[in-house]
Amino acid sequence: MDNWETDDGMDASAIIGVASRFPGAKNVNEFWQNLRDGVESISLREQEEIKL
Cα–Cα distance between 19 and 28 in angstroms, integer?
9
Q: Which of 21, 3, 22 is nearest to 12 (CA)?
A: 3
Comparison of pLDDT for 5 and 44, the residue scoring more: 44
Phi, psi angle pair for 45, to nearest 5°: -120, 150
pLDDT of residue 7: 60
Q: Which amino acid is at 17?
A: G
Query: With contact defined as beta carbons under 8 Å apart, do 24 and 39 qualify?
Result: yes
**For the ranges 6-10, 11-15, 42-46, which has the lowest average pLDDT?**
6-10
Query: With contact defined as beta carbons under 8 Å apart, do 4 and 13 qualify?
Result: no
